[in-house]
Amino acid sequence: MSMIILLVVMGGFMYFSMIRPQRKQQEQRKQMLNAMKKGDAIVTIGGLHGKIDEINEDKQTVVIDADGIFLTFNLSAIRTVDNGAATTPVAAAKPVDAPAASAAPEKDAPAADDKPYTEPTSNDDK
């Protein structure tokens, strides 16, 4: 009897620790892809940044404008979508407190290992 209870508890633990968060993540991704529209900035899974030029729901593709170069990707290749609503401009962001001046190294002083690179020489050529 205690073995059955242990198995039920283990099954419940696995559901709440692994399966449920994965389903929530899949639902968030689906909502993100459904909310995409022309002009949104995106990043692909390969790291390509661009703007959406066209979305084809039938073929499940998206055409991305990457600085004048138009590329077609599957919708599954989209990692993030930035529609501009959740971003804050860099100038409006709160500045990070800088460490004390004594803690920062001097930029003009060369480090001990800052020697110019020299090509190793071989005496085998003689």
Both tokens assigned to 84: 């501009």
Mean pLDDT score across all residues of the chain: 78
The series of mean pLDDT values per 10 residues for the chain, 126 residues long, is 89 86 91 91 94 93 93 93 58 46 53 64 62
* Percent of the residues in the chain that have a pLDDT greater than 70, as a whole number: 67
Q: Would you state the torsion angle of the CA atoms of residues 110, 112, 114, 119, taken in this order, to the nearest 10 degrees? A: 150
The DSSP output letter for 77 is G
Q: Are 40 and 52 in contact (CB under 8 A)?
A: yes
Q: What is the pLDDT of residue 120?
A: 72
Q: What is the pLDDT of residue 69?
A: 92
Q: What is the pLDDT of residue 14?
A: 85
CA distance 30 to 81: 12
Q: Which residues contact 56 (CB under 8 A, 6 or more apart)?
A: 62, 63
Q: What is the pLDDT of residue 20?
A: 86
CA distance 8 to 66: 51
Q: What is the pLDDT of residues 82-108, one digit of tens each?
A: 876 544 333 334 444 545 545 555 555
